[in-house]
Amino acid sequence: MKRTYIDLFAGCGGFSCGLERAGFRGVLHVEQDEWACETLSANFDPATVLCSDVRNVSDEFIRSYRGVDLIVGGPPCQGFSVAGSSQFGVHDPRNELVLWYLKWVEVIRPAVCVIENVPGILGKRDQFGKTVPQIVLERLGPLGYSVRSTLLNAGAFGVPQLRTRAFILCERHGRSIADPAPTHGLIDDRVALDLFDRLQPHVTVGEAISDIPFIGPGEGAEQGLPYIGAPSNDYQRLMRGQETEVRNHVAMKHTRRLIERFAAIQEEQSLKDVGETHGQLRNGSGEVNSKPFKYNNYRLAWARPALTIPASFQSLFVHPKRNRNLTAREAARLMSFPDSFVFCGKRTTMSWEKHLSQYNQIGNAVCPLVAQVLGESLQRWFEGLGVEEGTTRFVEAAVDAPPSGAFLQRAVHSSGVPTLDARLRAELRAAFAAEIGDDKYLLPEVVLDNLPVPSEAFPVALILLTQKGCSICNAGRAPFGEHLGVMPFLISKDELRSLELNENDHGLDYHLRALLSVDHQIAHVVGEQLVALGFGSADLVTNPRTGRTVKGIRSVECPKYLEPYRAAIFGLQRAANPKRRRLTPVPG
């Protein structure tokens, strides 16, 4: 039976589209805009669509959905966006909708809830100096929820757009929800970020839309247009599915002057790059605007991912090869909406019209591919609960599991940091098992979300946590990673890029991966289990690089029987090459 979800502030259903593809079943989509509700009804079960303001729903109605597994939603974000008026901040009345979202969570008590918003939501503070994640924790913490936030860039998951959004993840079973692993990367003019033999190049605008009819201004149709031949790449095949025609592909009409202006704008240029001949005229005066918005009439690059598609993009971006703005379908492709997804309502609206146009709906949405990979991470989290709800899952293993992240070996060795050898790892396992006892701890392997966590990670962590100057991960700048008795579980992403590019990370996760060649995120289960076993206390720690609050551990005491291994572990760095070597990107 599929796990169920509710989508609040659902918009046109981008979050829901991805969750459905990840195997969830929607039981309620709440949205107050009529045109967006038409889109929801056209793509999901109309019986699940509630066209209403979340504040106008009775508690009795909300309680009728108790038992739902997941609540997601993107409360209106204008008050947090850097593009919005600075006078708003967290005082913007629209931000109060976050509190109404939390009310639904408090009444229904799902296992997980997720809030999506612009990155600014993580740093803005209310009149009491509290950030939104802190407010969420204050409201949901007493109900047993843990709260953490993460930033996901859509381009890293196969979306042809460099769009970063914040996700606040709340769960109430004591098991961390893993970030989805990136699949795509790009740096400096089509150089694939493939340092670890697993990332594909970013999907480009051209790869995303080259099979859609190349229509001119004022041309196109809402449905019935044929594709340009067969799909030429995996992204086009994914977007097409079983579709045989293109929908929502109507280009805006433009004046001759506007078309001439577009013709003068080259790729990755905008209105600010053209002279007075093609400049933007001020309303009423006829004078040329000398300070146009940087990205107004910005022509996208055919061979690069798109910039962030905002809700107001209808006149913002210019087609890479046609002198017109994007159509709704082209923008939907850049957001990763499948071609089967139909958009309803007017294509565009005038300033006095209050409904969400097709363009508004698309630009406001969560990218479906991002929602899908996040949904797949949530499914793995739920599967872990299915074994023994609310606890970490332990399994026996006959032999040592090979490092699950074999690609890490090259990155670690390029830094001159050797991993622990098999003999030392075996001794640490045996020493820890003898002290803790098999009744509390099953050896030799712990499994978290189907990722192997070698049991020697626990004694190694105890030694790391009580070594005030940890330079394991940075042999060229010892002592590095001084944590003064407090160490974050996790700071950076799983490619070890922060270490390689910035030489600036002291999280427990980095040190464990450098020494043991294990997967990203194991520090969460290691740290939490050490706290459960009485070795330290959980705490919130400030990431010294970003200022974000992350989960960590403090007041750890290292058992005396592990002290002899301290010299063995930290002696390794003396044998390491003291010269730093940066990884050089290889042209893809």
Spot the catalytic one: 77, 170, 470, 473.
77
The pLDDT of residue 227: 97
- 273-322 tens-digit pLDDT: 876 665 555 454 455 555 554 568 899 999 999 999 988 787 789 999 99
Q: How many helices (H) and strands (E) does the chain have?
A: 19, 19
**Beta-carbon neighbour count of residue 215 at 10 Å?**
19
Read off φ and ψ for residue 454, nearest 5 degrees: -60, 140
Question: Confidence class of residue 6 from pLDDT cuts 50, 70 and 90?
Answer: very high
> Residue 506 has what pLDDT?
59
- Please list the alpha-helical segments (H only) found in 22-122: 34-43, 59-63, 97-108
Tell me what the mean pLDDT of segment 498-522 comes to: 65
Tell me what the mean pLDDT of segment 560-572 comes to. Answer: 75
Contact by Cβ (8 Å): 550, 148: yes
Please state, in angstroms and rounded to a whole number, the distance separating the CA atoms of residues 548 and 553: 16
Which is more confident, 158 or 575?
A: 158
Lowest mean pLDDT among 73-77, 202-206, 576-580: 576-580
- Tell me, what's the pLDDT at 558? 82
Query: Exposed e or buried b for every residue in 308-343, given b needs 16+ CB within 10 A?
Result: bbbbebbebbbbbebbbbbbbbbbbbbbbbbbebbb
Q: What is the mean pLDDT of residues 114-123?
A: 88
Closest CA to 165 of 336, 404, 407, 398: 336
3-class secondary structure, 214: coil
Contact 333, 363 (CB under 8 A): no
Q: How much is the pLDDT for 84?
A: 42
Would you place residue 266 in the very low, low, confident or very high pLDDT band (cuts 50, 70, 90)?
very high
CATH of domain 4-199+368-381: 3.40.50.150
- The answer for residues whose C-beta is within 8 angstroms of residue 434's C-beta and 6 or more apart is none
Work out the pLDDT band at 481, boundaries 50, 70, 90. Answer: very low
3-state DSSP call for residue 501?
A: helix
Q: Is 77 assigned a catalytic role?
A: yes
Report the distance separating Cα 205 and Cα 303, nearest Å: 6
Percent residues over pLDDT 90 in the chain: 44
| pLDDT grade for 478, boundaries at 50, 70 and 90 | very low
Question: What is the per-residue pLDDT for 556?
Answer: 82
For the cut 50, the answer to whether the pLDDT of residue 170 exceeds it is: yes
Phi, psi of 248, deg, nearest 5: 50, 40
pLDDT of residue 412: 32
The pTM (predicted TM-score) of the whole model is 0.64
pLDDT of residue 343: 97
The pLDDT of residue 494 is 46
Cα 487 from Cα 552, distance rounded (Å): 6
> Which residues lie below 8 Å from residue 26, measured CB to CB, with a gap of 6+?
4, 5, 6, 7, 16, 19, 20, 44, 45, 48
Cβ-contact 105, 144 below 8 angstroms: no
- Domain residue spans in the chain? 4-199+368-381, 392-575
Whole-number pLDDT of residue 122: 83
β-strands 220-221, 249-250 pairing: antiparallel
pLDDT number for residue 489? 74
Across-strand partners of 201? 185
Which position has the token pair 């009310």? Answer: 103
Answer whether residue 531 shows pLDDT above 50. yes
Look over the chain and give the mean of its residue pLDDT values, rounded to a whole number: 77
Highest-confidence range of 4-13, 119-128, 453-462, 477-486, by mean pLDDT? 4-13
**pLDDT digit string (tens) for 413-464?**
333 445 677 778 888 888 887 777 644 444 334 444 455 678 788 888 888 8
Higher per-residue confidence, 236 vs 290: 236
Instruction: Fill in the DSSP letter of residue 76.
Output: -
pLDDT band at 89 (very low <50, low <70, confident <90, very high): very low
Of 312 and 378, which is predicted with more confidence? 378
